[in-house]
């Protein structure tokens, strides 16, 4: 993409966002007091919390919980997905139905269970994140690994590839797009679940910061937290999009 096209894309994307904030700012005048805040005040309030260090601290706490739960889910999901999709495919019919039931379990309903099992705290929050983000990684990896083009396997075998070389040279790269699909889904649910678990029972973290703002009736901070959490999750998604683009440059872009 040329620089001109890039900046055009950026501006056409930013216009509705600016319009939204402008409408919000103006619209706030016509809503009874105490229901919504206005963006200008939201930004100031949030800036103050950042300056005081409080928001940084809570962000760090939430992100580290996400990182813990998500990375265990990612590694576990990829390993299990490969195992069930390739060399231990015979195990699939034992495990898959059970895993599919697990996935259907409402992850919000599991939060109290984990609170009892792990005690309220970082471990419990990370476990909730893990539980929700494990399945998309597992299923997408397994699905992609199963779908590896047999012709490519034959081509590699005919050139003398052993099992390890087949894995590194064919199965892994073939499965990469599926793994990324799973990771991107997982990162989204990870952000959903961390806030949910911190809202229900916590004394730290962004979810806690958010409910405390509303409990103390600090509307500026409440709306600010929502915006901020959304922004963080967009950023995380953006990182994975970039990573995917970087690794997937060989893939045809159907809509370019």
List residues near other proteins by CB under 8 A: 149, 151-152, 154-161, 165, 169-170, 173-174, 176, 249-252
Task: Report the alpha-carbon distance of residue 95 to residue 99 in Å, rounded.
Answer: 6
3-state secondary structure of 253: coil
In the complex with other proteins, the residue whose CB is nearer, 54 or 165, is 165
Task: Report the alpha-carbon distance of residue 103 to residue 249 in Å, rounded.
Answer: 32
In the complex with other proteins, the residue whose CB is nearer, 44 or 168, is 168
In the complex with other proteins, the residue whose CB is nearer, 102 or 248, is 248
Closest CA to 54 of 228, 191, 185: 228
Least separation in angstroms between CB 151 and other proteins: 4
Task: Report the alpha-carbon distance of residue 131 to residue 102 in Å, rounded.
Answer: 9
In the complex with other proteins, the residue whose CB is nearer, 85 or 224, is 85
CA distances from 71 to 42, 58, 152 (A): 33, 20, 30
Least separation in angstroms between CB 183 and other proteins: 17
Least separation in angstroms between CB 244 and other proteins: 13
Task: Give me 206's structure tokens.
Answer: 């962004």
**Beta-carbon contacts of residue 36 (< 8 Å; ≥ 6 apart):** 24, 28, 219, 223
In the complex with other proteins, the residue whose CB is nearer, 98 or 250, is 250
Closest CA to 59 of 223, 231, 253, 248: 231
Least separation in angstroms between CB 93 and other proteins: 17
Least separation in angstroms between CB 160 and other proteins: 5
Residue 172 parent element (H or E): helix 172-200
Least separation in angstroms between CB 148 and other proteins: 11
3-state secondary structure of 254: coil
3-state DSSP percent of the chain in helix, strand and coil, to 5: 85, 0, 15
Least separation in angstroms between CB 176 and other proteins: 7
Judged on CB neighbours under 10 Å (0-12, 13-18, 19+), 15 is: exposed
In the complex with other proteins, the residue whose CB is nearer, 116 or 159, is 159
């Amino acid at each position: 993409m040329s620089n001109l096209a890039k900046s055009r894309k950026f501006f056409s994307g930013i216009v509705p966002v600016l319009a939204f904030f402008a409408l919000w700012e103006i619209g706030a005048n016509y809503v009874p007091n105490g229901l919504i805040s206005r963006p200008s005040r939201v930004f100031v309030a949030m800036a103050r919390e950042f300056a005081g260090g409080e928001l940084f601290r809570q962000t760090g706490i939430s992100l580290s919980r996400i990182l813990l739960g998500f990375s265990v889910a990612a590694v576990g999901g990829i390993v299990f997905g490969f195992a069930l999709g390739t060399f231990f495919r015979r195990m699939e019919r034992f495990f898959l139905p059970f895993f599919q039931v697990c996935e259907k379990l409402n992850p919000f309903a599991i939060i109290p269970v984990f609170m009892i099992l792990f005690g309220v705290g970082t471990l419990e929050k990370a476990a909730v994140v893990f539980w929700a983000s494990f399945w998309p990684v597992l299923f997408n990896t397994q699905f992609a690994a199963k779908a590896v083009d047999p012709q490519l396997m034959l081509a590699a075998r005919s050139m003398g590839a052993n099992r390890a070389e087949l894995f590194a040279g064919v199965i892994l790269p073939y499965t990469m797009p599926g793994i990324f699909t799973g990771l991107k889904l997982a990162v989204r649910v990870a952000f959903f679940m961390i806030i949910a678990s911190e809202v229900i029972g916590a004394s730290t973290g962004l979810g806690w910061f958010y409910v405390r703002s509303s409990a103390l009736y600090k509307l500026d901070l409440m709306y600010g937290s929502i915006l901020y959490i959304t922004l963080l999750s967009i950023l995380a998604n953006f990182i994975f999009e970039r990573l995917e683009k970087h690794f997937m440059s060989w893939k045809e872009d159907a809509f370019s």
